[in-house]
Amino acid sequence: MLKFLKKPYPFNDDLKHNTKIIFFISVGVFAFLFLFQPLQIDSLETRDKYFLVIGLGIITFLSLSLNLLILPSLFSKIFSGSSWNVKKEIFWDIWILFTVSLGYFLYYKALGIMEFGFDMIIMLILIAIVPISVLITFNRNRLLRTHLKSVKELNKKLLEGKSLSNKLVHFISDYQKDNLSIKANLILLIRSANNYIEVFWKEGPVVKNQMVRNSLTKAEEVLTEYRFIFKCHRSYIVNTMHIDKIEGSVQGYRLYFENVDFTVPVSKNYGHKLKELI
């Protein structure tokens, strides 16, 4: 049991996702309290009932916001995903329940509508320990299965990508005599040169180039299946795996390649795709 409690558990630090969770839980709590009227709510007058239920919904929202948004932002080291485990998750969930219950207790006391004893808070926490522990165990196993499946798929794609990058690409010349066949992963870039394309590729530390009587459009069609190679400008196709450095100016990005004595411009229309690929 102690060994299981020390097992890693993913801490949810996605603030945008947590904001949605807080909103839906708060609305759900409001709807639950209004429909089922637990905690002696059903014994109140209609006006007091509405007042109490709305207040408890607001307290739920504020408590969850404090615990899921503010505290993780202020104490990021404590909530580091690398050190988070099952035990911390259980205590954290109990703490959240405690703060919500304490808020309810203080609200009941402030209104003086009815008795909501401190013993009721303890009872709520004790009742919740079992389902919280079961939920965390179930969620951890679900995440583990999901990640293992994802890792299997990613490794398969990596192998496919490596196999694909080693395939020969054939640039057929209109003159036939200057055809060029080269492995996709060796290509650095291709630039348009009137009725020709100039292909630059790497052989060890040396960069070589060859003119081929062809169009950049046809070259792009040949390279469609290689995701790491894309057209970044009307005159250039580049291999993102070989980009040495990127610089930016008011005119946009410029790409640098090792042992290539010119830079490659990136059209504004292709800037977003470049960031995606890199």
Please write the tens of the pLDDT for every residue from 8-67.
766 666 677 778 777 877 787 777 777 777 666 667 676 777 777 788 788 888 888 888
Distance CA(227)–CA(161), nearest Å, equals 9
User: Does pLDDT of 74 surpass 80?
Assistant: yes
Sequence-distant (6+) residues with CB within 8 A of 205 are 259
Higher pLDDT, 229 or 22: 229
User: Does pLDDT of 199 surpass 90?
Assistant: yes
What is the pLDDT, as a whole number, of residue 118? Answer: 64
What mean pLDDT comes out for the span 180-198?
Answer: 89
Domains present along the chain, CATH in parentheses: 2-161 (no CATH), 168-277 (2.40.50.1020)
What is the pLDDT, as a whole number, of residue 131? Answer: 47
As a whole-number percent, the residues of the chain with pLDDT over 90 amount to: 6
What mean pLDDT comes out for the span 249-257?
Answer: 77
What is the pLDDT, as a whole number, of residue 59? Answer: 84
What mean pLDDT comes out for the span 234-259?
Answer: 84
What is the pLDDT, as a whole number, of residue 198? Answer: 92
Higher pLDDT, 251 or 233: 233
How does residue 184 score in pLDDT terms, banded at 50, 70 and 90?
Answer: confident
pLDDT digits (tens, 9 = 90+) for 129-179: 554 555 556 656 666 676 677 777 766 665 655 555 677 888 888 877 788
CA nearest 210: which of 165, 169, 244, 242? Answer: 169
Sequence-distant (6+) residues with CB within 8 A of 120 are 39, 101, 105
Distance CA(180)–CA(171), nearest Å, equals 5
How does residue 189 score in pLDDT terms, banded at 50, 70 and 90?
Answer: very high
Distance CA(93)–CA(97), nearest Å, equals 6
- H or E stretch including 160? helix 118-165
What mean pLDDT comes out for the span 177-206?
Answer: 88
What mean pLDDT comes out for the span 72-83?
Answer: 75
Between helix 46-65 and helix 86-111 the angle, nearest 10°, is: 150
What mean pLDDT comes out for the span 223-240?
Answer: 88
pTM, whole model, 2 decimals?
0.47
Asked if residue 71 lies in contact with residue 96, where contact means CB atoms within 8 angstroms, the answer is: no
